[in-house]
């Protein structure tokens, strides 16, 4: 019988981290319960711009929302997502092959972050924490504030894993994001975007060996891969903001399961929906017929 030492368990866990990077696209875990945007403050457009890699446009949209809704943490966490997304694009992290080839991920070099982007990213997240504190003090079940914290922890997880290579910290942020999402879903089970945070933890950690899953469950993690895929499908089908992101995750999951047909279908849909994002077309072209 093979004996799993703590080091071997940890190594197996960290090899599941590749998909965490996709969580930046965000992990924008946004609910339909958010206030309807005004014509001048169209959050939906900001996320479409971000998916199309129009980062300057997304920043402009989110900054406009920050000015119009100064007490709302959501525009700040959205702008943080745009900063992180742009940094991941600059560093070529959005390559599906990186997430499907564990050996390539393990051998990746430590990346050099842009200090200005890092500072702007952290400043937006700090503002999220500042704005959510009084809201949750008055109402611990405020859905919008919880939602902002779900996304903020997801973004911190992405940055820690893929840029700082602090994998244990990344797993901690991911767990916090999942727990907050579950709390949010008790309040509103139709918040389909929030299912992604639950799905990503279950899928990632469910892919680890059985002894590792047992070890992780002792710490409160969720490790059911089947549940993870089902939650991702809910977001893909019904998510207002995270539908495209969930479809990308499902495409990666399909490739890891050697299901090229499903992966090609999902990437083709994304390529048509976001024609300015060449990533989807490039990754589609790499999949053999």
Give the tens place of pLDDT for each residue, 32-45. Answer: 444 444 445 888 89
Q: What number of other Cβ atoms are within 10 A of residue 130's Cβ? A: 11
Write down the pLDDT at residue 222.
Answer: 57
Whether 175 is in a domain gets the answer yes
Rounded CA separation 251/253 (Å): 5
For residues 205 and 4, which has the higher predicted lDDT (pLDDT)? 205
Q: How confident is the model at residue 169 (pLDDT cuts 50, 70, 90)?
A: very high
pLDDT in tens, 54-80: 999 999 999 999 999 999 999 999 999
Q: Which of 17, 18, 8, 1 is nearest to 212 (CA)?
A: 8
Write down the pLDDT at residue 21.
Answer: 43
Whether 167 is in a domain gets the answer yes
Whether 52 is in a domain gets the answer yes
In this structure, what CATH number is given to the domain that contains residue 19? Answer: 1.25.40.10
Q: What total number of domains does the chain contain? A: 1
Q: Which range has highest mean pLDDT (51-65, 83-97, 147-161, 216-230)?
A: 51-65
Write down the pLDDT at residue 198.
Answer: 87
The residue-averaged pLDDT of 85-112 equals 74
Whether 30 is in a domain gets the answer no
* Mean pLDDT rounded to a whole number for the chain: 81
Domain range holding 247?
6-25+38-286
Whether 198 is in a domain gets the answer yes
Q: How confident is the model at residue 260 (pLDDT cuts 50, 70, 90)?
A: very high
Distances (CA, A) of 35 to 74, 143, 192, 246: 10, 11, 16, 23
Q: How confident is the model at residue 245 (pLDDT cuts 50, 70, 90)?
A: confident
pLDDT in tens, 175-234: 999 999 999 999 999 988 888 888 888 787 766 555 445 445 555 555 667 888 999 999
Neighbouring residues of 164: CB distance < 8 A, sequence distance ≥ 6: 113
Write down the pLDDT at residue 219.
Answer: 56
Whether 33 is in a domain gets the answer no
Instruction: For the chain, state the CA radius of gyration.
Output: 18
Write down the pLDDT at residue 216.
Answer: 54
**pLDDT exceeds 90 at position 125:** yes
Whether 1 is in a domain gets the answer no
**pLDDT exceeds 90 at position 7:** no
Q: How confident is the model at residue 9 (pLDDT cuts 50, 70, 90)?
A: very low
For residues 102 and 167, which has the higher predicted lDDT (pLDDT)? 167
Write down the pLDDT at residue 94.
Answer: 75
**pLDDT exceeds 60 at position 272:** yes
**pLDDT exceeds 80 at position 22:** no
Whether 32 is in a domain gets the answer no
């Amino acid at each position: 019988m093979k004996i799993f030492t703590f080091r071997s368990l940890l190594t197996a866990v960290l090899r599941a981290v590749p998909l965490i990077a996709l969580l930046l696209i965000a992990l924008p875990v946004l609910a339909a319960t958010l206030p309807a945007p005004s014509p001048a403050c169209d959050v939906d457009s900001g996320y479409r711009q971000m998916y199309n890699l129009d980062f300057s446009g997304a920043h402009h949209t989110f900054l406009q929302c920050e000015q119009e809704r100064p007490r709302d943490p959501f525009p700040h966490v959205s702008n943080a997502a745009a900063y992180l997304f742009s940094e991941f694009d600059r560093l070529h992290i959005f390559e599906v092959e990186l997430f499907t080839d564990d050996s390539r991920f393990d051998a990746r070099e430590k990346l050099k972050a842009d200090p200005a982007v890092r500072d702007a990213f952290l400043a937006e997240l700090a503002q999220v924490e500042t704005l959510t504190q009084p809201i949750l003090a008055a109402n611990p079940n405020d859905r919008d504030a919880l939602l902002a914290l779900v996304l903020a922890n997801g973004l911190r997880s992405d940055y820690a894993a893929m840029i700082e290579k602090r994998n244990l910290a990344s797993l901690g942020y991911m767990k916090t994001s999942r727990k907050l999402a579950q709390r949010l879903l008790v309040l509103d089970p139709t918040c389909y975007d929030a299912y992604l945070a639950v799905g990503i933890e279950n899928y990632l950690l469910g892919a680890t060996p059985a002894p590792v899953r047992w070890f992780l469950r002792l710490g409160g993690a969720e490790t059911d891969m089947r549940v993870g895929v089902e939650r991702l499908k809910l977001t893909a089908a019904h998510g207002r903001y995270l539908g495209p992101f969930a479809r990308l995750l499902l495409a990666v999951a399909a490739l890891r399961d050697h299901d090229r047909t499903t992966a090609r279908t999902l990437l083709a849909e994304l390529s048509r929906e976001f024609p300015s994002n060449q990533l989807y077309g490039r990754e589609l072209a790499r999949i053999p017929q």
